[in-house]
Amino acid sequence: MQFEARTIILKDGRTCTLRPAHPDDAAVLIEYMTRTAGETEFTLRYPDEVNYTEEQEREILGSILNDPGQIMMVGIVDGKLAGNCSVSGIGNKRKIRHRSSLAITLYREYWGLGIGTAMIHYLTELAEKIGYGQIDLEVVADNTRAQALYRKCGFEESGRRTRALKFDDGTYHDEILMTKLLAK
């Protein structure tokens, strides 16, 4: 989905531009996925699992940009990618087409500056314009920092998936399911 860029002021006084991800962002986003997967254990992939080619990523980004039911947003600070956030529909069946799913990741150096909150609020506005009635997400139960962000943005715990993730060290981790109801 194409949408208007929005500029926000960060807690440290710098500005951040929230804008649609474009196919030209492919190389930067591949590097970003690889690096953020190594910065925290709470992403769904390990760095070695990021195996998109630049051409494949360009196609994915172009498809999302032209799909009125999907949103991929990037945050740019000082000309550099700080993070991204996305919302996409759960499915096209009538019983579930009111639902969407959110994913967000930021480079660690940009945590705590207000980017995540601004992205989620803007994505919520856009999801409502699309016609979604709710946004769902999953968060690792040990990731209390992210849970606090989601609660601040209006998400409530709606369930738990036991042993949803198995880390490379052999440990299992639960996921907490969270939902934000929208105006519809």
Give the domain ranges of the chain.
6-181
End-to-end CA distance of the chain: 19
CATH 3.40.630.30 fits 6-181, yes or no: yes
Taking 70 as the threshold, does the pLDDT of residue 156 lie above it?
yes
Question: Would you say residue 184 has pLDDT above 70?
Answer: no
Under 8 Å between Cβ of 29 and 61: yes
pLDDT at position 151 over 80: yes
Looking at residues 107-112, what average pLDDT do you find? 96
Helix (H/G/I), strand (E/B), else coil: 171: coil
Contacts of 8 (CB under 8 A, 6+ apart): 15, 16, 18, 114, 115, 118
Sequence-ordered list of residues with C-beta below 8 angstroms from that of 28, at least 6 positions apart, any chain: 81
Tens of pLDDT along 127-144? Answer: 999 999 999 999 999 999
Q: What does the pLDDT average to over 65-76?
A: 97
Dihedral pair phi/psi, residue 31, rounded to 5°: -60, -40
- Nearest Cα to 18, choosing from 156, 110, 143? 110
User: What integer pLDDT is reported at residue 117 of this predicted model?
Assistant: 98
